Amino acid sequence: MSEKVTRQVAEAGSVMGGPVEALRGVGPRVAERLSKLGIGSVQDLLFHLPLRYQDRTRLLPIGELNAGDEALTGGVVSDARLVCGRRRSLKVWLTDSTGGILLRFFHFSGTQAAALKPGTRMRCFGEVRLGPRSLEMVHPEYQQGPAADSVPLDTTLTPVYPSTEGLQQSSWRSLTEQALALLGEPGEDVRELLPPDVLDRFSLPALSEAIRFLHRPPAGVRASDLRERRHPAFRRLAFEELVAHQVSLRRMRRRRQRVHAPALNGDGSLRARFLDDLPFPLTEAQRRVVAEISADLERTRPMLRLLQGDVGSGKTVVAALAALQSVESGCQAAIMAPTELLSEQHLRNLRRWLAPLDIAPVWLAGRHKGRERQQVLDRIASGQGLVVVGTHALFQDDVTFRDLGLVIVDEQHRFGVHQRMKLREKGVQADGSPHQLIMTATPIPRSLAMTMYADLDLSVIDEMPPGRTPVTTVAVPDSRREEVIARVREACAGGRQAYWVCTLIEESEALQCQAAEDAAQALAGALPGLRIGLVHGRLKAAEREAVMQGFAAADLDLLVATTVIEVGVDVQNASLMIVENPERLGLAQLHQLRGRVGRGAIESHCVLLYRAPLSHQARERIDILRRSTNGFQIAEQDLRMRGPGEVLGTRQTGEMQFRVADPVGDESLLAAAQQTADLILDRHAEKARDLIARWFGARVAYGGV
């Protein structure tokens, strides 16, 4: 379906539902620019809401202006001067009975300068700022001359729209003006898609009323209410968007309920042997989630379950049990990790665990090429490979499974929503779809999980394996580096191992690796006698593997690494971690890193070696980390500080961007949105489709087609 088709939700044959080209000022070029913003129909313009507003409804006396305001003011020119300093400029002093303000112009014509002579009346609009001697406005919009005073004031606030290159605010205002003029015309109104009793119950204004208000708020509306999105008109649209989102997720869930999946009701024999061989009993929490998963897998509807558990909570064992249930039932299981390093670690664990059961896991990595790759593919296609481990390479089109019963995705937040959808499609065959288990070590706050993953079931491991001592975290400035190095020396002399993690702000992997190499060299100089290893993303998998194994076998004392070791790496004797420049990492990432230590009974420490001075935000982040070792608490804080886009790792792709709603701030609306979504799906199915089209258009992730 094309974007245009899916987004028209107005009456058939109306201008409102038709293409934007119907409006004055829209030719092919403008239409093209608008379509970049997802605007195809006239109605789409009305859902493109202002970012902020300017107030030209009130004329403020100069004495009432404050720095930072955008304001309309007026007065008489008391002095005007051409200044020929470094940069030629025109300075104009404007005064009224309450005070004076300096207007500065850098670009102006001779006629303009001549017109602004003392005694001239002026009215101007601009941002007020504090200059060296007085308040100033730089390049205000202005009117001058005797008529300036008689220009009528605006009756509505002036909207400022999010725009794209080549589209002026004046165009936006003209376009939205034309679209707004259609509202209320017979056959042209935007269709109300929320049932009237819902609007009543939550005291929400009608759609067309809310839209008109938000595009042209009447004089006297408090700009702060609008900025903080408290106004009922905002809540009305935010609510509808949340409903649309819930409708789309719930519809996907309902559709999934109609798809067939293989019932994985194995006899439990492999699982029993596996548990017997395991050197520890499962924790209570592990047993609970294993039971939840196991029950789902026995059904003939595809499971879609998110398994959340803090770093080190023992998700891998849970995954192995689920995979074995699939194998017992004669189906294959695939386990995907976000990086090759991690997939190798899974491979290692599974090899060790499954060898006594005579199951040899198959590994498919991006670096497998040619014949080698073909052999692996053959084993997957023939079904000989019962447990398949890999990275996103498993997504690729040439990978075919004989009988895939279960897909396990580890650390899913890195895969992004789109990939999740794609994977879901992957296993779907004519006769059904495999079960899916998604595991994440970045706890997602409950509120966000409810909004974003309403199509998933949730399992939570909320308990750590016994015998762990919480990690103590300290922050130390770079000026005390020597002390920190001494601490590493001491720990290693006592038979412990340590990590030294290098971070870099640059995205470039090459630079990161260079930084780690430099650090390793410097540390080798400062710590003679220590056996130091180095891992970074540029090493060949085999080299990296060798270093990691050396560290795991305690042949190395100190492991210098980039953030590639962030997830998954597991060495219990490592009791000290130094993180250089922690101010460059987000909370969740730091928490993940820190999870590499404190995996055994030894008391562990994490030293955040920061470069002073710390920004306010960085200080706050570090404080949170020092105070808490609970991943869920940390995630809540992270969400509060960075917003959902960052926390979910989807900011760049924009997949999870809402237009009006703030899924965290609008939490109070969420429960209502969920109820309403069910109501619409049950009783107004035709509206469900229209709601999704209106808010998400052709964005595949929500289409659920």
* Cα–Cα nearest to 451, from 286, 639, 296: 639
Block residue for tokens 């920004």? 615
- CA 346 – CA 390 distance, rounded (Å): 9
**Cβ 441 to Mg ion shortest distance, Å:** 6
> With CB under 6 A, what is the number of residues at the site for ligand ADP?
16
Among 462, 570, 620, 662, binds ligand ADP (CB under 6 A): 570
Compare residues 92 and 347 and give the one whose CB is closer to ligand ADP. 347
Is the separation of the CB atoms in 690 and 239 below 8 Å? no
Shortest Å, Cβ 501 to Mg ion:
18
First vs last Cα of the chain: how many Å apart?
Answer: 10
Q: Which of residues 146-165 bind ligand ADP (CB under 6 A)?
A: none
654: Cβ–Cβ under 8 A, 6 or more apart, which residues?
645
Q: How far is the CB of 241 from ligand ADP (least distance, A)?
A: 34
Q: Which residues bind Mg ion (CB under 5 A)?
A: 568
Q: Which two tokens stand for residue 13?
A: 């044959």
Token pair recorded at residue 91: 């300075």
Smallest distance from ligand ADP to CB 628, Å: 17
- Rounded Cα distance, 120 and 99, in Å: 16
Given candidates 316, 473, 581, 589, which one binds ligand ADP under the rule CB under 6 A?
316
Strand runs (DSSP E) across 441-573, as ranges? 457-461, 472-477, 497-501, 532-535, 558-561
- Between residues 159 and 465, which has the closer beta carbon with respect to ligand ADP? 465
CB 565 within 8 A of CB 535: yes
- In the complex with ligand ADP, the residue whose CB is nearer, 318 or 622, is 318
Q: Minimal CA–CA distance to 270: which of 333, 317, 328?
A: 328
Query: Would you say 262 or 465 has its CB closer to ligand ADP?
Result: 465
Residue 441 sits in the site that holds ligand ADP (CB under 6 A)? yes
Instruction: Find the part of the chain contacting ligand ADP (CB under 6 A) among 136-144, 309-317, 539-547, 612-620.
Output: 309-317
Smallest distance, Å, CB 568 to ligand ADP? 7
Q: Is 271 in the site for ligand ADP (CB under 6 A)?
A: no
174 vs 573, beta carbon nearer ligand ADP: 573
Q: Which of residues 163-192 bind ligand ADP (CB under 6 A)?
A: none
Q: Determine, following the binding rule CB under 6 A, whether residue 598 of this chain makes contact with ligand ADP.
A: no
Residue 106 contact, options Mg ion, ligand ADP, none, Cβ 5-8 Å cut-off depending on partner type? none
465 binds, among ligand ADP, Mg ion, none (CB under 5 to 8 A by kind): ligand ADP
Bridge partners (DSSP) listed for residue 79: 93
With contacts defined by CB under 6 A, name the span among 66-74, 306-314, 354-362, 490-498 that binds ligand ADP: 306-314
Q: Is the dihedral of CA 687, 689, 692, 693 positive or negative?
A: negative
For 423, the token pair is 């994977």
Cβ atoms 142, 124 nearer than 8 A: yes
User: Any idea which residue has 């804080």 for tokens?
Assistant: 637
Smallest distance from the beta carbon of 461 to ligand ADP, in angstroms?
7
- Tell me the closest approach of the beta carbon of residue 322 to Mg ion, in angstroms: 14
Looking only at Cα atoms, what is the longest distance across the chain? 97
Among all residues, whose Cβ is closest to ligand ADP?
314
The binder of 312, among Mg ion, ligand ADP, none, by C-beta within 5 to 8 A per type, is: ligand ADP
- DSSP bridge partners of 602: none
Q: Cα separation of 334 and 362, whole Å? A: 9
Choosing from 40, 427, 445, 465, the residue that interacts with ligand ADP (CB under 6 A) is 465
Q: Which stretch binds ligand ADP (CB under 6 A): 114-122, 241-249, 280-288, 414-422?
A: 280-288
With CB cut-offs between 5 and 8 Å by kind, which of Mg ion, ligand ADP, none does residue 298 bind? none
- Find the shortest distance in angstroms from Cβ 363 to Mg ion: 17
CB contact set of 446 (below 8 Å; sequence gap of 6+): none
Q: Which H helix or E strand runs over 218? A: none
Distance CA 186, CA 323 (A): 60
443 touches ligand ADP by CB under 6 A: no
Angle between helices 631-642 and 587-594 (to 10 degrees): 160
Select the residue whose beta carbon is closest to Mg ion and give its number. Answer: 568
- Judged by CB under 6 A, the stretch of 92-100, 240-248, 313-321, 648-656 that binds ligand ADP is 313-321
Q: How far is the CB of 324 from Mg ion (least distance, A)?
A: 17
Tell me how crowded residue 480 is: count the other CB atoms within 10 A of its CB: 12
- Other beta carbons within 10 Å of 316: 20
Q: Which of 177, 118, 183, 245 is nearest to 694 (CA)?
A: 245
Decide: helix, strand or coil at residue 368: coil
The residue among 264 and 342 lying less far from Mg ion, judged by its C-beta, is 342
Quickly list DSSP for 288-318. HHHHHHHHHHTSSS--EEEEEE-TTS-HHHH
Which part of the chain contacts ligand ADP (CB under 6 A), choosing from 269-277, 304-312, 430-438, 616-624?
A: 304-312
Query: Is position 309 an interface residue for ligand ADP (rule: CB under 6 A)?
Result: yes
Binding of ligand ADP by 383 (CB under 6 A): no
Burial of 174: CB neighbours in 10 Å, binned 0-12, 13-18, 19+: middle
Minimum distance from residue 198 beta carbon to ligand ADP (Å): 41
Stretch that binds ligand ADP, among 315-323, 354-362, 371-379, 644-652 (CB under 6 A): 315-323
Part of the chain binding ligand ADP (CB under 6 A), chosen from 308-316, 483-491, 536-544, 697-705: 308-316
CB-side neighbour CA atoms (13 Å) of 568: 23
As a whole number of angstroms, the distance between CA 553 and CA 546 comes to: 10
> Segment contacting ligand ADP (CB under 6 A): 49-57, 138-146, 223-231, 312-320?
312-320
Asked if residue 314 binds ligand ADP (CB under 6 A), the reply is yes
Binding footprint of ligand ADP on the chain (CB under 6 A): 280, 282-283, 286, 309, 311-317, 441, 465, 570, 599
